[in-house]
């Protein structure tokens, strides 16, 4: 049997890291075994449905490199792939009729007040909460017809077997058992005629030939209901793979308070889609060996259910930043420039950093730096690539290139206070800066080697055995900072004219 998997989100919100991990595992599993990945929207919860979220979902998948061969936007033999449309097409009716005729499901007409009273009774008496039959599980056909004739709204419920165990296999946890008496009868069809997830998703999985279902471990408690439904329909259940939750480094379930968790927020913040995909895939899955930085193809080749851990995975932002840096350093500098220009030109980038500035005043400055570098990268690509190449080893995201490269594009107006105090008012430092400016006079350009020779020559002329007393004040004078890329390289990128201008300003500031 060929592998067929599905990513079937509910369009109720922008997908977060946990959702995207599920989508990635579907993609990797299908790719690993030459199978089919299906994208299906489960939009039966009309009260929470947000059409714009469908766009976010598809954008998020494309951002991290998830592919699908059937489903939304690409079509396929099981269309439509939106559950509300499948309901309107009458696809579910045959299965509803089959369940009712076999006695596997029953109509219940409890009022909201009656259901509230039932739950209160269960809570007061410390009983399992849920619907375990009420007045309708064993109601006669005549009683059901009487309720219908009276116009009472009713729901279709699955009849969970009592007095026996419900047993099934989970690919990660092995054999799982539930007592049928503790599993409530779930609603399959709501009073408005719309199918619930418990019904539509399982029927669709059957009709679409799904062989493996990847979903969060929060669905384990619902799994016995789904197994009972499949068996009632005479269907062999797919392989169930319940993925552990993702937690923050503080051990609590990942949430907005841990920072960005929406997939598209990471794109807005300047992360690379392939780096994010690599990082997310490894939260709870081990490819074997000590491999960490991997391409999508490498992950797909290594992906195996045995590598998925049953324990919770940890979302470690530092590790994501490390992976991101590794990806950036591996890219040709021309591609980095192109990706940066594309990133800086997005409307969402400006909106993201403007919104961040309400909480963090430095975010507004970051956006200004991003836009400044974008202008330079478009007007003089070669010069921009020289700047980017020097910072490529140091930055953690595309957004970081803006502030990292700012000193190349704007003369410093301030100097690091601690470093300035160290060199300020020292005649030998002022002499050094004046000598360097004079040595640059008449030059239109300077290579790394030229700049190194200048600095070493000055150190020798001034009687310094080590380069530190020359390198450190010169760096501060040229950039306003005490740390940064290699001095010869940054001097070459700045060029003689900019260096002379900055040295003259520094002489005044250092005096």
Q: Where are the domains of the chain?
A: 4-70+246-314, 90-243, 331-409, 417-510
pLDDT above 80 (res 252):
no
The two structure tokens encoding residue 30: 């299908």
Domains 4-70+246-314 and 417-510 share a fold: no
In CATH, what is the architecture of 4-70+246-314? 3-Layer(aba) Sandwich (3.40)
The average pLDDT across 51-62 equals 91
Please report which confidence band the pLDDT of residue 249 belongs to, taking 50, 70 and 90 as the band edges. Answer: confident
Segment 98-118, tens digit of pLDDT: 999 999 999 999 999 999 999
Single out the catalytic residue among 87, 143, 165, 256: 256
Q: Is residue 71 within a helix (H) or strand (E), and if so which, with residue range?
A: strand 70-71
The two structure tokens encoding residue 213: 């279902």
The average pLDDT across 24-53 equals 90
CA distance 106 to 128: 21
Please report which confidence band the pLDDT of residue 360 belongs to, taking 50, 70 and 90 as the band edges. Answer: confident
Segment 181-221, tens digit of pLDDT: 999 999 999 999 999 999 999 999 999 999 999 999 999 99
Please report which confidence band the pLDDT of residue 45 belongs to, taking 50, 70 and 90 as the band edges. Answer: confident
pLDDT above 70 (res 86):
yes
Q: Residues 403, 404, 409, 410: is their CA dihedral positive or negative? A: positive
For a pLDDT cut of 70, what percent of the chain falls above it? 98
pLDDT above 90 (res 465):
no
Output the average pLDDT for the chain.
Answer: 93
Q: Is residue 187 within a helix (H) or strand (E), and if so which, with residue range?
A: strand 187-189
CA distance 64 to 276: 7
Determine whether 382 is exposed, middle or buried from the number of CB atoms within 10 Å of its CB (0-12, 13-18, 19+).
exposed
Domain 417-510's class?
mainly alpha
Neighbouring C-beta atoms of residue 217, cutoff 10 Å: 17
CA distance 317 to 259: 9
Please state the CATH superfamily assignment of the domain spanning residues 90-243 in this structure: HUPs (3.40.50.620)
The two structure tokens encoding residue 404: 């990292």
Chain centre distance of CA 15:
8
253 is catalytic: no
pLDDT value for 362:
86
Asked if residues 138 and 110 have their Cβ atoms less than 8 Å apart, the reply is no
The average pLDDT across 319-332 equals 94
pLDDT value for 358:
87
β-sheet with 174-179: strand ranges across:
174-179, 165-170, 239-243, 212-216
The average pLDDT across 421-441 equals 93
């Amino acid at each position: 049997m060929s592998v067929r998997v599905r990513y079937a989100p509910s369009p109720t919100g922008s997908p977060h890291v946990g959702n995207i991990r599920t989508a990635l595992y579907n993609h990797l599993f299908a790719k690993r075994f030459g199978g089919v990945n299906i994208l299906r929207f489960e939009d039966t919860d009309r009260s929470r449905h947000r059409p714009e979220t469908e766009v976010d979902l598809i954008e998020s998948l494309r951002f991290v490199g998830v592919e699908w061969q059937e489903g939304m936007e690409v079509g396929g033999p099981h269309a439509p792939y939106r559950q509300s449309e499948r309901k309107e097409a009458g696809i579910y009716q045959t299965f509803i009729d089959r369940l009712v005729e076999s006695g596997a499901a029953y109509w219940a007409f409890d009022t909201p007040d009656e259901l509230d009273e039932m739950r209160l009774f269960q809570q007061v008496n410390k009983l399992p909460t849920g619907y375990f039959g009420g007045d309708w599980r064993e109601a006669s056909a005549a009683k059901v017809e009487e309720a219908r004739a009276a116009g009472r709204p009713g729901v279709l419920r699955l009849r969970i077997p009592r007095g026996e165990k419900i047993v099934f296999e989970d690919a990660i946890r092995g054999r799982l058992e539930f007592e049928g008496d503790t599993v409530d009868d779930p609603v399959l069809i709501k009073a408005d005629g719309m199918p619930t997830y418990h019904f539509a998703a399982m029927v669709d999985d059957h009709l679409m030939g799904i062989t493996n279902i990847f979903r969060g471990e929060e669905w384990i408690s619902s799994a016995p209901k789904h197994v009972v439904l499949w068996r009632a329909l005479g269907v062999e259940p797919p392989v169930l793979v319940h993925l552990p939750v993702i937690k923050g480094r503080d051990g609590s379930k990942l949430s907005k308070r841990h920072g960005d968790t929406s997939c598209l927020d990471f794109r807005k913040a300047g992360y690379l889609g392939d780096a994010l995909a690599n990082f997310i895939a490894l939260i709870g899955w081990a490819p074997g060996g000590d491999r960490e930085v991997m391409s999508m193809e490498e992950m797909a080749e290594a992906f195996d259910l045995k590598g998925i851990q049953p324990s919770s995975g940890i979302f470690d932002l530092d590790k994501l930043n490390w992976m991101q840096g590794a990806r950036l350093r591996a890219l040709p500098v021309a591609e980095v420039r192109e990706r940066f220009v594309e990133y800086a030109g997005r409307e969402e980038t400006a909106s993201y950093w403007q919104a961040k500035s309400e909480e963090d005043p430095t975010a507004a400055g970051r956006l200004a730096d991003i836009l400044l570098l974008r202008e330079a990268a478009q007007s003089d690509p070669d010069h921009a690539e020289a700047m980017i190449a020097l910072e490529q080893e140091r930055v953690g995201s595309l957004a970081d290139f803006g502030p990292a490269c700012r000193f190349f594009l704007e003369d410093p107006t301030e100097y690091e206070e601690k470093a300035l105090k160290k060199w300020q008012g020292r005649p030998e430092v002022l002499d050094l800066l004046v000598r360097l400016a004079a040595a640059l006079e008449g030059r239109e350009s300077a290579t790394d080697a030229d700049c190194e020779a200048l600095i070493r020559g000055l150190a020798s002329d001034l009687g310094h055995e080590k380069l530190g007393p020359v390198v450190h004040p010169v760096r501060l004078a040229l950039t306003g900072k005490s740390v940064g890329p290699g001095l010869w390289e940054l001097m070459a990128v700045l060029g003689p004219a900019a260096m002379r201008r900055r040295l003259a300003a520094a002489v005044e500031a250092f005096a």
